[in-house]
Each structure stands twice: as structure tokens, then as C-alpha cells.
Amino acid sequence: MPGINEVAELAGVSTATVSRALSGNGHVSAATRERVISAASELGYVVSSNASSLATGRTKNVGVVIPVLNQWFYSSVLQGAESALLANGYDLTLYNLGGGADERRSVFEHFLLRKRVDAVIAVSLELTAGETTRLLDMNKPIVGVGGPLPGVRTLSIDDVAIARLATEHLLSLGHTTIAHIGGNKEYERDFHLPTNRRVGYESALEAAGIPVDPELFQTADFTMRGGYQAAKQLFGNPRKRPTAVFAASDEMAIGTILAARDLGLEVPEDVSVIGIDDHDLSDFFGLSTVAQFPELQGRLAVEILMDQLHPSRRTQGTLNTSLPYELIVRSSTARVSNRRR
């Protein structure tokens, strides 16, 4: 098998230049890098991960920690991060905290500290002071996705503003009996996502002069099944059936659409429905939603890490970066029907 010396000789450069060109560490001109890559490809040279790690102190591996894996949002963030890491020549080690508090403790107290990683991405995890300290003590770059973390570069989404926008869309269509399917303390997540989305919903109603009605709120577990069950409770009330529903996730909103259809209600003629996420199935169901671009979140997190891992390409950035969101109107929302006024 050819070695680094053969690559250097064919490319007409030093072995140190070959190392910098193939690792991405240190300055190498674009023409030289292309010549080295071409020589390595011609010879079939493959960089030894062990040798590279010993020489640079880098493993070319990033640890990504997520709360659960079986929900669309988290898997989409992961997909965006993975594609960006691969494009930069990095591997990904996944830590799924779906097992609960004990699993989380093991990851932050043992696995991340023991595992050789160059950096860590924490997705939708409100790290404790102890967890943050342990990670910072590793002297590795950390990026948080989902909300601000003290002393850590983060990408955060304004869940209050997103929920308010979704509710204001329904208000603009003339709806005043608007229900909300969200979460309570049992389903509370890091960065208080369910609470913040309920706050946004209630603030939009209050700004429009509409009293918040507890009977128009149902809790669910952010799944289609949970949204379906919650919507059936709302639609089953003959005296206070809503003309519109804002669900705190697209999966619950899709469950709401299915519940309406099973009860003989037409969407949007009898009830308008809006969610949050822009789930892959949202377009199929004609679901109006507020998109929060999870794949983009994963890619942006990797960009920040790469800036920190490679000082030569580092750019100025704020400690916390606000993430974009966008209202997408489809066929599940419409002006309140005359028959429902």
C-alpha cells in the first residue's frame, strides 16, 4: 500500500504539505491541495485515522447528543448535521438519550468524556451547569441547538414567536374559537418548548381581545396518535367545538386532521388546522404550518463547529444565533365558514 512519502514525491511537495492538504489543518493553496488530492487518488492512498489522530490530536469525529431518535424533527436535524460533517471529512457518533435520566447521566459523566471526539453538538438539550462544565473542561468546541446555553455557541428558535405567528394566521382568517393541542409539565422538554408555544398561542389571543379558554386546550405527546386523541376530545364537545386548531407540532396537527375526518368534519370547511415544523408529510396532507428547517439547523451547527475547529476559516459570530422560521399556508386553513359563525 502506498504511503505518504510516495504521495509527496508524485505531487512534488513535502510530506508535511500532504498532511495539511488531506487533513484540512493549516494553510495550503487550492492548486497545491488539488495536486495532492490527485496524487493520493492516483496512488490509492488512504489516510490512516490512527496516524492522523496522533499527528494532529484530532479524531475527525463529532459527538451529537439528541433527546430521542424516533421523532421526525430530531432525525432531520441529525440528517443535516451528518451530511455537513461528511462533506467536511468528519465522522459522527450519536448519543440518543431516549432512555431517560440515567442514560443522560451516563452520556455526560462518562461516554462523552471517555470517547475521543473533536467537538459536541447538543440538540434541544438544556444543559445543566455541571454538564456544561464537564464538556467545556474537555477543551472541545460545543454547539447547542434549540436555545441559549451560558458560555456555549448556540442556535436558538423563538418558540413563543412561532406559536404566536401560527395563531395570528388563524385570527386573520376570522377564527375566534381557536383550540390548542400542546404539552403540559408531563411532556415538558428542554428549553420549555411546550410551555413557550402555549404562551405564544395565549398572547396572540389576548392581543386580539379574546379570552383564553382552558376548555380549548388539550395535552398530547407530540405524536400523530396523541394529536388524534386530543382532537377527538375537542371535536366531541358539541357546545364548544373549535373552528380552528393550532397544534404545537405537525405530527399532532396531522393527527388532528385525521380525527376531524373520522368524525365527519371537513378540513378546512368545518375546522382549520395549523402546526409547526413543515414535516415531510405536511405537504401531502395540505397542512399549513410554520417551518423551522431542522436540516438547516443541523448544517448550521456543523458550520459553527468547523469555524472553531479550523481557525484559518473562523468568522465572527454572536454567542447565540437566532434560527429562521416561515409561515407556509396550504389548504388546511381558510376563512371561518358562514355555517360555523
Domains in the chain: ranges and CATH: 4-56 (1.10.260.40), 61-157+294-309 (3.40.50.2300), 159-291+327-340 (3.40.50.2300)
Q: Look up residue 123 and give its three cell numbers.
A: 440538540
Indicate if the pLDDT at residue 226 is higher than 90. yes
Average pLDDT, the chain: 87
The answer to whether residue 52 scores a pLDDT higher than 70 is no
Q: DSSP label at 172? A: H
Residues 17 and 8 sit within 8 Å (Cβ to Cβ): yes
- Torsion from C-alpha of 200, 202, 206, 212, nearest 10 degrees: 180
Chain centroid to Cα 296, Å, comes to 8
pLDDT at 40 > cutoff 90 = no
- When pLDDT is cut at 50, 70 and 90, the band that residue 312 belongs to is low
pLDDT at residue 314 tops 80: no
Grid cell 383564553 — which residue?
212
CA 305/CA 302 separation, integer angstroms: 5
CB 272 within 8 A of CB 283: no
pLDDT digits (tens, 9 = 90+) for 239-256: 899 999 999 999 999 999
Q: How many CB atoms lie within 10 A of CB 260?
A: 23
Cell of residue 263, nine digits: 368524525
| 8 Å CB contact between 156 and 148 | yes
Confidence of residue 148 (pLDDT cuts 50, 70, 90): confident
pTM (2 decimals)?
0.79
Q: For residue 173, is pLDDT > 90?
A: yes
Closest CA to 83 of 303, 315, 281, 326: 303
pLDDT digits (tens, 9 = 90+) for 68-116: 888 899 999 999 999 999 988 899 999 888 777 788 888 877 777 666 7
Of the pLDDT bands very low, low, confident and very high (cuts 50, 70, 90), residue 53 is very low
- In this prediction, what percent of the chain has a pLDDT beyond 90? 49
Give 56-59's long-range contacts (Cβ < 8 A, gap of 24+): 56/19, 56/23, 56/25, 58/23, 58/25, 58/118, 58/309, 59/91, 59/116, 59/117, 59/118
The SS3 call for residue 55 is helix
pLDDT of residue 316: 60
Q: What's the CA angle centered on 131, arms 192 and 140, to 5 degrees?
A: 115
Task: Give the C-alpha distances (Å, rounded to integers) separating 299 from 80, 85, 253, 323.
Answer: 5, 8, 26, 12
Task: For the chain, give the percent of residues with pLDDT over 70.
Answer: 89
Tell which wins on pLDDT, 239 or 329.
329
Mean pLDDT of 38-48: 77
Higher-pLDDT residue of 125 and 285 is 285
**232-251 b/e (C-beta count within 10 Å ≥ 16 → b):** bebbeeeeebbbbbbbbbbb
pLDDT at 336: 92
| Spatial separation of the C-alpha atoms in residues 211 and 173, rounded to whole Å | 18
Q: Which residue has the higher pLDDT, 138 or 230?
A: 230
Task: State the residue for C-alpha cell 396523541.
Answer: 226
Start-to-end CA distance of the chain, whole Å, equals 78
d(CA 128, CA 298): 22
- In this structure, which amino acid lies at residue 98? G
How confident is the model at residue 242, as a pLDDT?
A: 97
